[in-house]
Amino acid sequence: MFSWFANPHRFLTLSSWLAPICYALGALLIAWGLWQGLWIVPKDEYQGGDIMRVMFLHVPAAWLAMASYMGMAVMSFIWFIWRHEVADIAAKAIAPLGATWTALCLVTGSIWGKPTWGTWWQWDDARMMSVLFMFFLFLGYMALRGAMDTRQKAARAGAILAMVGAINVPLIKFSVDLFTSLHQDASVITVDGPKMAAVYLWPLLASGLGHSLLFAGLVMTLMQAEIWQRRAAQIRARLIAGD
């Protein structure tokens, strides 16, 4: 199956129609989630009143930050084992977008934290620090790739960092259970099912799916750009060689 998807030409054909669908559906779901989150759902006094409305941006950003890192690690693993170039292109494309959504998670979490906890940031909080560490892993991945002089070396070094760093993702998820944290416990993805009222849960899930589709569309477009750049470089190399 991986080999079927690993063909760049097949990927370009598939993504040319799949990416616009992801953009359209993602925009619709995000818009619906926003409308529900800002206009429709009642404020929750237990969660600090209206400030809980930040949840409809912060939680999808947090889910996507973790999912994108896992995606980057899985793509790196596929490249590492089977040497499929499209997997490496995917990992490379995920990194800057994953960093963006992780930064969004950190910033919105900090803004939510100020009125709720009375502080923008807590340096000894396991959840905050593990997410910050993941942000630095994304940046480190991009810097490491950029520092290598060949594409193969960049892919290899990046893949090793992405795979090793994946251990941080379960640590983020369980940090609120394992350590003392200002952050509230998980309320959606739990063993006993969601603890959240349906009126908040559905807009949150819609928003989460919308962000995921938008992210997938952006990754596909970045991958297309990388494939086009590599093709142009190959043609130039052939021209120089006089082939």
Partner 1 sequence: MIPEFDKNAAFIWASYALGAVMIGGAILTVMIKARLAQAELARTQARTEEARRK
Q: Footprint of partner 1 on this chain (CB under 8 A)?
A: 34, 38-39, 43, 48-51, 53-54, 57-58, 61, 96-97, 100, 103-104, 107-108, 111-112, 114-115, 214, 218, 221-222, 224-226, 228-229, 231-232, 235-236, 238-239
**CA nearest neighbour of 208 among 57, 50, 18:** 57
Rounded to a whole number of angstroms, the minimum distance from the CB of residue 176 to partner 1 is 21
Rounded to a whole number of angstroms, the minimum distance from the CB of residue 198 to partner 1 is 21
Amino acid at 138: F
Q: Residue 27: how many CB atoms within 10 A of its CB?
A: 14
Q: Which is nearer to partner 1, 80 or 206 (CB)?
A: 206
Q: Which is nearer to partner 1, 38 or 81 (CB)?
A: 38
Give the containing element (helix H, strand E) for 179.
none
Rounded to a whole number of angstroms, the minimum distance from the CB of residue 229 to partner 1 is 5
Q: Which is nearer to partner 1, 80 or 104 (CB)?
A: 104
Rounded to a whole number of angstroms, the minimum distance from the CB of residue 163 to partner 1 is 25
Phi-psi region of 190 (alpha: psi -120 to 50; beta: other; left: phi over 0): beta
Q: Find the DSSP H helices in the chain.
A: 2-5, 8-35, 55-82, 85-117, 126-147, 151-165, 168-178, 198-241
Q: Which is nearer to partner 1, 99 or 166 (CB)?
A: 99
Rounded to a whole number of angstroms, the minimum distance from the CB of residue 33 to partner 1 is 12
Who's near 63: CB < 8 A, 6+ residues apart?
208, 211, 212
